[in-house]
């Protein structure tokens, strides 16, 4: 007869310590690489302005999945968005004018299936300078005196998400038919709770109570 010995508490603690140490080492090795990868992807969105002359300067951005993957909380993972940015450098501030258009993948509220949602919009942000960084308003940003660049990646991330409609529904096709996934609609219909018909006798009793 073989007797199995119960692992000692010291052995269990040692195993847990080993797993924790191993996980921590993996995190320490992976985290800097991830941060560096994200930083490299977003580097084109850091616009230097100290060397620019007064007046208008044009920038183009083609935003895709690589951009959205840089933000952990993103609801959008697939998309093709074109951004035309006009940076106007004035004596004491910058004016950023964004023209955004394209499409992003979202989930339809009706059939719970992905579809490409067209988006389009324009935004203007005023960049001023002060003693410290401050988001003074939705369209006013304060940068510390001596700043030489402005990061527009977070602005674009917010603008694109705000352009997605609150109610997300498949667009109708050329014949006016809804583009929803029919199989999903049938499944959702089967899973939806069915209304139980009310016995008319209850209506009579309720009426008697009211009277």
Alpha-carbon distance 166 to 149, whole Å? 33
Identify the bridge partners of residue 80 per DSSP, sorted by sequence position.
103
pLDDT at 135: 87
pLDDT at 27: 47
pLDDT at 55: 97
The residues near 67 (Cβ < 8 Å, ≥ 6 apart) are 41, 42, 153, 156, 157
Per-residue pLDDT tens digits for 7-23: 555 656 666 665 555 45
Per-residue pLDDT tens digits for 112-153: 899 999 999 999 999 999 989 998 888 999 999 999 999 999
Phi and psi of 188, rounded to 5°?
-65, -35
How far, CA to CA in Å, does 58 sit from each of 99, 140, 151, 153?
Answer: 11, 20, 15, 16
DSSP code of residue 44: G
pTM score of the predicted model: 0.70
The residues near 47 (Cβ < 8 Å, ≥ 6 apart) are 59, 87, 149, 150, 151, 152
pLDDT at 59: 98
pLDDT at 68: 95
To the nearest whole percent, how much of the chain has pLDDT over 70? 71
The residue with greater pLDDT, 63 or 181, is: 63
pLDDT at 12: 60
């Amino acid at each position: 007869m073989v007797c199995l010995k119960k692992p000692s508490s010291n052995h269990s603690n040692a195993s847990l310590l080993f797993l924790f140490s191993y996980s921590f080492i993996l995190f320490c090795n992976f985290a800097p690489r991830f941060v560096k990868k994200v930083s490299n992807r977003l580097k084109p969105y850091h616009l230097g302005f100290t060397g620019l002359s007064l007046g208008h300067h044009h920038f183009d951005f083609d935003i895709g999945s690589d951009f959205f993957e840089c933000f952990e909380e993103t609801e959008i993972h697939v998309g093709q968005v074109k951004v035309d940015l006009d940076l106007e450098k004035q004596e004491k501030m910058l004016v950023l004018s964004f023209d955004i258009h394209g499409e992003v993948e979202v989930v339809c509220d009706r059939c719970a299936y992905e579809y490409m949602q067209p988006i389009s919009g324009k935004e203007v942000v005023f960049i001023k300078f002060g003693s410290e960084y401050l988001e003074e308003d939705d369209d006013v940003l304060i940068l510390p005196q001596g700043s030489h660049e402005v990061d527009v990646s977070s602005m674009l991330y917010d603008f694109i998400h705000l352009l997605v409609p609150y109610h997300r529904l498949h667009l109708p096709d050329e014949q006016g038919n809804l583009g929803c996934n029919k199989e999903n609609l049938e499944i959702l219909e089967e899973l939806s709770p069915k209304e139980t018909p009310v016995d008319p006798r209850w209506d009579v009793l309720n009426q008697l109570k009211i009277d």
